[in-house]
Structure 1
Amino acid sequence: MILAWHKPLRGLLPCYTFGGVYRDCQDVVVARQVAHVCGQPHEVIKAGEEFLSRFHHYAERAVYLTDGCVDVRRASDLYLNERARTIAPIRMTGNYGSEVLRGVRAFKPSRPLSGLFSQDALSYFNQAEETYHSLLLGHPVSFAVFKQAPWHHYGLLALEETQVSVRSPYLDNDLVQTVFRAPKSALATYDVCLNLIADGSSVLRDIPTDRGVGREGLGGKVLRKWEETLVKAEYAYDYGMPQWLARINHAVSILHLERVFLGRHKFNHYRVW
């Protein structure tokens, strides 16, 4: 969406996407197409063997640099942004776009495993869940900008800004004011986002997103279902693997079923690392 309206001169903006070692994830596939259409250079920065060989260093630094606002799982983000700094000192990011324009919630309460905590502690989890749902009663943009962004996204932003200067156009005051005035129904679908892209560049509008959004007709519906299935499968075979699936996966570990799914939408795979 940003490139659809910015229309920079060809070759002016160095573009990059964070990727993994198993395959090109959908973010990489889409970004490469967008950069090609816009005539901009593009490269993939991978979290692979070099990062893993120095994992201890990046894990320790990530926690230290953010005063504990991120955990060791963000070690790869420190490494990747360190690499990104060699390409450009300023990073223009599309972060917060889905939250502001479509009301996407990036975090929600989840129940702990039964028996993990005492009954006395469970009451505090219940209070936290009630507090969370009470915050959703207001305007979705208010929740995204004034609560979700500073509470949930701050740690990653603080880590990124130790390496690069981050620009987040979707938090622009004028844009946020405009979305506040829009009817809530406008945030319920992808229509506004797709129309904004189409008005800026019809060619970019024809490129489907990493989730298959943007392709029309039956083929588009099938693509979206397929990508959503892959997202859930990758989550299940990575850090979201439930205990019952872990037992099955261990029994058939010789098949390495995780290789079928890992790397399609994510570049971090700490469960297998």
Structure 2
Amino acid sequence: NFALDTVNGGKPMKATIVNVQDKPRHVIRAEKKKRQQTQYLLAACAASLGITATAIIATIQRFSTHLEPGQDFPFLELFLSLLFTVGAAVGMEMYARLAHKHWWHESWMWALPEEWRAEWNKPFWKLHESHHEPREGAFESNDIFAVANAVPAISLIIYGFFNGGVVPGMCFGAGLGITIFGIAYMFVHDGLVHKRFPVGPIGDVPYLRKIAAAHKIHHSEHFDGVPWGLFLSIQELEKVGGIPELDRMLEAAELRQVAAKARLAEEEKAVEEPVKL
């Protein structure tokens, strides 16, 4: 599609060919980002729905399979399974804090040149480093840690599912807890914080907005990498006097959100207004 501009005030002028199919670079970048977000969102939702449905069915099937005819329902086993589910989810936050600081970063040397870093830590950092650099594509090398965490979760669930008794029941619950933490981490960290896919109303929850701002402080290295965890990151910032910085970032984010909504409203208004010739 081309347009010819040949007349101006009744006088002929030099013909100019304009390719109206050409798009501004910012539009192309926005479309590319949208495609990447859609790809990751589909993968995240498919994995989450599949895992959640499987977990519910497996839980029902596990207790019904190992329940002998005439046997009372094992409420103690169920209680311990639920207890270990909650405990494993909370424990994963503690584990993430420890691994993030001492295995992936080594906070006392992570900002130094690569050749100075501890040899044993290089493989972890090389994977995690992709998370601290501009991402190309829908996925990054750091995503391998999510896959690695799925291995013990799946192993515990399989062992607990195929074996009856209190201990297998606790293992089953622990596997579910790790799984629940992983799904929550993906939506809050990848979706809300790093905008890898839209999260809808999750982004309006005040506490989750604080978590998002706290994690951005980690990426700013303002407090030597603190906070290292995610869901309890505010507690980490309190210990290092980082709450004022957190409040400042929340206020700045609020102002940006208001400005973005105003720009969107203006763009929608401009589109709806008839073109005056």
Q: Quick check: TM above 0.5? A: no
The structure with higher relative contact order (CA 8 Å, sep 6+) is: 1
The normalised TM-score by structure 2 is: 0.23
Higher gyration radius (CA): 2
Q: When you count helix as a share of all residues, which structure comes out higher?
A: 2
